Amino acid sequence: MAKAHRTSLLITHAAMLLPLLVILGFFFVLPLGIVATTSLKEEQTFPSLAQYLSIFTDGFYLEVMVRTLVIGLVTTVAALLAGYPAALLLVFSSSRWRRVFLFIIISPLFVSVIVRTYGWIVLLGPTGPIASLFPPDIRPRMLKTEGAIVIGLMHIYIPYMVLSINSAMAKIDVRLLRAAATLRASRWQIFKDIILPLSAPGVVAGSAIVFSLSMTAFSTPVLLGGARNKTMPFLIYQENLVLGDWQSGSALAIVLLAITTTVLAVVTIASSRIVNKVGG
């Protein structure tokens, strides 16, 4: 009786999980497998590394790849430099202001990326508020530059950086700071010797998230960078959907995925080491 009941319960549970398993298996794992397989095809030959060889030997592909990496790095550093003080402010402000400040940092996440990007098109545009600060003849061209891509991406992804650093800072034991103050440590010493090392896991995790998101962003670089500053996602779009070269397009997608996955994996391992070191 009890056994029959257990079996029927197991069947019910399996049935309830079935939709999730079907979706993940058929629309997530299988399609990724197809992309990986397609990337290993050359005409009718399989397996072949020809697509990957041509990516890493072609000057144009390499140029786009380096630009994408540089944009990812610069965006991450900019988000870190601007986001760290914001996270610090969040931790040390009074609870009422913390709530307001958190709302301001989080609320852009609920507005479509395309709307935020369009906002930067207006802000950086030739008739925008920043350009109008300059006399008409020496107005700098801000749109369609790599700088515009960095500003747009940084604005879109900085909330993740701030939240990540903030969550690491919030875990710091307040008694540690009080003890340091009692021992007459200066504010700078407290920051340098306690807050900075203990917030490092948040910095690392936030940087990894911002880096991989900005390397894989599509619409923001296309709209703010224009045709001259192509990044890898645009190349993936072009190969697959414009040129119809799915084999080369798949290889590019796999390369992009490999870069971001490696960064995330390395960072996960590194940050667990940091946590162990600081904790132990």
Partner 1 sequence: MARRNTLARVGRIYGVLFSAFMLAPMVVVLAASFTGEGYISFPPASLSTRWYVEVLQNNTFMNALSFSLQIAAITATASGLVGVLSAVVLVKPSFPGRTFLVSLAMMPLTLPHIVLAIALLQLFGSLAIPSAPYALLMGHILITVPYVLRLTMTSLGGLDPRLELASFTLGASRSYTLRHVVLPLGLRGILAGILFAFLLSFDEITISLFTALPGKMTLPAEIFSYASQGSDPVIAAASGLMIIISAVVVIIIEWWFGLLRLILGDEPAKRGSRPAGE
Q: Which residues in 167-186 contact partner 1 (CB under 8 A)?
A: 167, 170-171
Supply the minimum distance, in Å, between the C-beta of residue 57 and partner 1.
23
* H or E, element range at 87: helix 59-92
> In angstroms, rounded to a whole number, what is the distance separating the alpha carbons of residues 81 and 68?
20
Q: Which of 44, 45, 112, 276 binds partner 1 (CB under 8 A)?
A: 112
Of the listed pieces 52-60, 69-77, 174-182, 233-241, which binds partner 1 according to CB under 8 A? 233-241
Nearer to partner 1, 111 or 278 (CB): 111
Supply the minimum distance, in Å, between the C-beta of residue 142 and partner 1.
14
Q: Residue 245: helix, strand or coil by DSSP? A: coil
Site mask, partner 1, residues 123-152, x = CB under 8 A? Answer: x-x-xxx-----------------------
Kindly list the distances between the CA atom of residue 46 and the CA atoms of 35, 36, 37, 239, 247, in Å, as whole numbers in the listed order. Answer: 13, 12, 9, 20, 11
Task: Decide if residue 113 touches partner 1 (CB under 8 A).
Answer: yes
Task: Decide if residue 97 touches partner 1 (CB under 8 A).
Answer: yes
Nearer to partner 1, 76 or 250 (CB): 250
Supply the minimum distance, in Å, between the C-beta of residue 204 and partner 1.
13
Q: Which of 85, 178, 243, 269 binds partner 1 (CB under 8 A)?
A: 85
DSSP string, 56-83: HH-HHHHHHHHHHHHHHHHHHHHHHHHH
Of the listed pieces 41-49, 60-68, 175-183, 231-239, which binds partner 1 according to CB under 8 A? 231-239
Supply the minimum distance, in Å, between the C-beta of residue 1 and partner 1.
15
**Cα(first)–Cα(last) distance of the chain, in Å?**
51
Of the listed pieces 61-69, 73-81, 92-100, 271-279, which binds partner 1 according to CB under 8 A? 92-100
The amino acid at residue 150 is: V
Task: Decide if residue 266 touches partner 1 (CB under 8 A).
Answer: no
Q: Which of 78, 77, 76 is nearest to 260 (CA)?
A: 76
CB 42 within 8 A of CB 245: no
Of the listed pieces 14-22, 55-63, 133-141, 173-181, which binds partner 1 according to CB under 8 A? 14-22
CB 121 within 8 A of CB 138: no
Task: Decide if residue 32 touches partner 1 (CB under 8 A).
Answer: yes
Q: Which of 53, 106, 176, 179 binds partner 1 (CB under 8 A)?
A: 106
Cis previous bond, 47, omega within 30: yes
- The rounded radius of gyration (Å) of the Cα atoms in the chain is 24
Task: Decide if residue 251 touches partner 1 (CB under 8 A).
Answer: no
Question: Which residues, including other chains, have CB under 8 Å from residue 2's CB and lie 6 or more apart?
Answer: none
Distance of CA 247 to the CA centre of its chain: 26
Beta-bridged to residue 45, according to DSSP, are 42
Site mask, partner 1, residues 42-81, x = CB under 8 A? Answer: ----------------------------------------
